[in-house]
Amino acid sequence: MIIKPFQLILLSTAVATGLQATSLTALGNPNNHPNETIFTHHRPSDTTRLLLGPADADSLKARIASTNFSGTFQLVQGNQTIMSFSKGWASEQAKQTNTAETRYNIGSIGKSLTAILIMQLVEQQAIQLDQPVNKYLSKSWQIGNGDKITIRHCLNQTSGLGDYFEHPKYNDSATRTIDQHMALVKDMKLVKDTPGIDLHYSNSGFIVLGKILEERYQKSYQEIVKTKLLQPAGIDYAAKVPYGTGYAQKDGVWVIGEGNDPSHWTSAGGIFLNTRELNQVLTALLKGKYISAASLQQLWGKESRPAHEPPFVHYGLGWMVEDPGGFPLRGHNGGVRGFQAAFRYVPSDDISFYIFSNRDGGAEEVFMMVLFYMMEKKGVKM
């Protein structure tokens, strides 16, 4: 499937349209952190911490209900779900509605999962971030410029590899495995000759990381995700759960879009999860079940910055890193032609929120609405 590169930043839209002038006046449970060892150093006092409760849930629910949103929104603080709200059809044909259990294609959010897996290998001293990727690829899979492109370059989007779906032989239905994607990556020209300088969002770079994972574990990427991330978080990917059908507009009419196969996903993205399941993964991450606190801070470091974006927008190692007005946001966006998703964790206030939609472009309005609400309540000024 085509993992949309435009999903790099939703937040920049707010600046372009005047974030400072936005008013949320009409929008009208403290808990222990799941892992004190990670965030003790910058956890706020009770007087500065943003606390959300039932009134906030009611206000946000009313706002979201008034939109054309189709999908699921979940808001969590600590280990307490403040609200979970679903709206719209999961399948118009079957007349099935979206619910809290509905799984959606979350697109490039899968890159954050790949980054966690890579950091596990770093902690095992099986690989090093600043070593070239060809060092960890068998000869038949080594790529052009792979003696210069490092693991870090692939993670922070400065590899210069571009996107496999621009290859003329790419076929959304036939190109499925990591090996099939790698064959296209190897055959493509670089978009940047010198890695490590400019951010150029690259799905191909994450395919390379997926191949490194496969060669290290001698398992398929999907099996690695299931055994190393999902199962430790209590998620059974084979469970019988409802799936959302993705829709995109064609000639002004909503039609079934792309990315509707839950078995078709790679290290660049495309996995299907529901909001609760992604929250389970984040909780496991914060509790140190996957990687150490030091490794997590590396993922969340400011590694690169997209040109022509506001100065608070950065990319870390497989994670988006934003700090508008000093309000820290860590997460990722994702989208294919039929689904759009975004999630953010706010470490200063131990808040996470998830917006999964089965409509092309369907998450952005709710994302901005929720973000503005929290920033105004926190008193954040740009």
Q: Which domains does the chain have, with CATH numbers?
A: 5-378 (3.40.710.10)
Instruction: Give every CB contact of residue 353 below 8 A, 6+ residues apart in sequence.
Output: 73, 74, 75, 76, 343, 344, 370
Residue-level pLDDT at 24: 25
Cα–Cα distance measured from residue 83 to residue 73, given in angstroms and rounded to the nearest whole number: 8
Residue-level pLDDT at 243: 98
247 beta partners: 256, 359
Cα–Cα distance measured from residue 213 to residue 207, given in angstroms and rounded to the nearest whole number: 10
User: Could you tell me the pTM of the whole model?
Assistant: 0.90
CA of 92: how far to CAs of 15, 97, 103, 262, 263, in Å?
Answer: 35, 8, 16, 18, 21
CA of 60: how far to CAs of 21, 107, 128, in Å?
Answer: 20, 25, 44
Residue-level pLDDT at 81: 96
Tens digit of pLDDT at every position of the chain (382 positions): 555 543 444 554 444 333 332 222 222 222 232 222 233 223 344 456 888 999 999 999 999 999 999 999 999 999 999 999 999 999 999 999 999 999 999 999 999 999 999 999 999 999 999 999 999 999 999 999 999 999 999 999 999 998 999 999 998 888 899 999 999 999 999 999 999 999 999 999 999 999 999 999 999 999 999 999 999 999 999 999 999 999 999 999 999 999 999 999 999 999 999 999 999 999 999 999 999 999 999 999 999 999 989 999 999 999 999 999 999 999 999 999 999 999 999 999 999 999 999 999 999 999 999 999 999 999 998 7
Residue-level pLDDT at 229: 98
Residue-level pLDDT at 35: 29
Q: Counting beta carbons within 10 angstroms of the beta carbon of residue 301, is it exposed (0 to 12), middle (13 to 18) or buried (19 or more)?
A: middle
Tokens of 253: 């009419």
Q: Specify the pairing of strand 71-77 against strand 313-315.
A: unpaired
CB 212 within 8 A of CB 137: yes
Residue-level pLDDT at 174: 84
Instruction: Give every CB contact of residue 319 below 8 A, 6+ residues apart in sequence.
Output: 112, 115, 299, 300, 330, 331, 332
If you ran DSSP here, which 8-state letter would residue 107 be given?
G
CB 357 within 8 A of CB 275: no
Residue-level pLDDT at 50: 86
CA of 210: how far to CAs of 185, 257, 342, in Å?
Answer: 12, 26, 22
